[in-house]
Amino acid sequence: MHSFEHDTDASRTVFGTGTLSRLGAEVARMGGRRALVLSTPGSEGSPTGWPPCWGRRRRRLRRCRGAHPGGGDRGRARPCHGGGRRLPGLGRRGIDDGSRQGPGRPHRDAAPGGAHDLRRVEVTSLLGETAQGEKVTRTGPEIRPEVVVYDVALTTSLPWVVTVTSAVNAMAHAVEALYAADRTAETDRLATDGLGALAGGLRALHRTPTTSTRAPNLLYGAWLAGRCLEAVGMGVHHKLCHTSAAAFGLPHAATHTVVLPHAMAFNAPAAPVAMRAAAAALDVDDAPSGLQSLVARLGGPTSLRDLGFDMADVPRAAALATARPYPNPRPVDHDGIVELLTHATEGTVISARPPSTSPAAAPAAPEVTHQFEEHR
């Protein structure tokens, strides 16, 4: 996977190995004068709580003429409602972008670091928050960074379990894009390319953990899947994971990893075209059972019970997941969700479905053309 730059009207992506060296230049390109660097506290290996790449970021920014990096360790891996506004004074001291909008000012630049996972939601205009035990999302142009700098070298320090679960979490964005009501030919391409890169990267790293040659594939696949999340609506899988993780305190990426194969099996009868496309991209015979087997071989979680969820929680979780309508290829009913959650809780092994011989159940996605510049 080569380095590249991807520019659209909304944002710019800089991707490659060693791209952290371009951080100062990107800040300067946007006319930035002061930079605020946020991270989650308590990063392993740093007595001050800063991630190891923090020192490198400060040095890169200091080399940018006129840029003065400030810092803060008040970032959250899973923000609570209003968490984005709880930086009294820090934003005003750390950022000067010519505006006086307070914490609602645009998000100018992001450079996810070594402790970050592979979900790649920073490329979107979506923000998820936990409010009163429920995962809620909001969207707005100020949420999407103007520039995202991806440095593959910063992802190689991820613990293996984080690599697996966050990669499958990213796969969920691509899988649900394949049967989204508003899918297009381009999102189909992004989804299948993303699934292939993620699955291939995981298999390669599992075979030879000491090599980082496949790390670019994982990060690239996650970026493609993140673009799917931005472009189309998600279905039953995301609804289940968001409600369950928020209401029962389950780990986000691990919950996605357990639930995704069961959600795929739930939707398979109504979305055979999407499941065939997913199976081909994942290089398996049957998408739901093949993905579950892959997760098990990689040492990822396959049971919600192991994450702290219990059968007694199923009725409430099903009620939350069916409380509001949302697009999904198969109608979402209470009994069906109870069955899905029961299998996910118990870690039921999914049986491969026989190949479908029926005509395509979903029409081909409409062709669309997006203008962008990409340099490899």
Q: What is the pLDDT of residues 242-301, one digit of tens each?
A: 898 889 999 999 999 999 999 999 999 999 999 999 999 999 999 999 999 999 999 999
Structural domains of the chain in order of their starting residue, each with its CATH number: 4-83+108-154 (3.40.50.1970), 160-346 (1.20.1090.10)
Q: What is the pLDDT of residue 336?
A: 97
Residue 43 in tokens: 């990063």
pLDDT for res 108: 56
Handedness of CA 44, 48, 49, 53 (dihedral sign): negative
Rounded to whole angstroms, what are the CA distances from 265 to 25, 103, 281, 330?
A: 47, 42, 17, 11
Beta bridge partners of 15: 4, 150
162/158 Cα distance (integer angstroms): 6
Local structure of 313: helix, strand or coil: helix
36 is written with which tokens?
């605020």
> Which CA distances in Å does 293 have to 223, 240, 314, 349?
24, 21, 24, 8
- Residue 287: the pLDDT is 98
pTM above 0.85, yes or no: no
pLDDT of amino acid 72: 45
CA atoms of 188 and 184, how far apart (whole Å): 6
Residue 367: which H helix or E strand, with range? Answer: none
Q: What is the pLDDT of residue 299?
A: 96
In tens, the pLDDT along 311-346 reads 999 999 999 999 988 899 999 999 999 999 999 999
**Burial tier of 188 (Cβ tally within 10 Å: 0-12, 13-18, 19+):** buried
pLDDT of residue 121: 54
DSSP letter for each residue of 158-187:
S-HHHHHHHHHHHHHHHHHHHT-TT--HHH
Q: Is the dihedral of CA 23, 216, 301, 254 positive or negative?
A: positive
- What does the mean pLDDT of the chain come to? 76
Q: Which tokens sit at 248?
A: 């029962």
* Neighbour tally for 357: CB within 10 Å: 6
Query: What pLDDT is recorded for position 124?
Result: 62
- φ, ψ at 13 (rounded to 5°): -120, 130
User: Hey, what are 120's tokens?
Assistant: 């790649």
How far CA 95 is from CA of 49, 101, 348, in Å, comes to 22, 11, 50
Cβ atoms < 10 Å from Cβ of 268:
23
> Which residues does the chain have with pLDDT short of 70?
1-2, 34-144, 210-214, 355-376
Long-range contacts, stretch 133-142, CB < 8 angstroms, 24+ apart: 133/246, 133/247, 134/243, 134/246, 134/247, 134/320, 135/242, 135/243, 135/245, 135/246, 136/81, 137/242, 141/10, 141/106, 142/104, 142/105, 142/106, 142/107
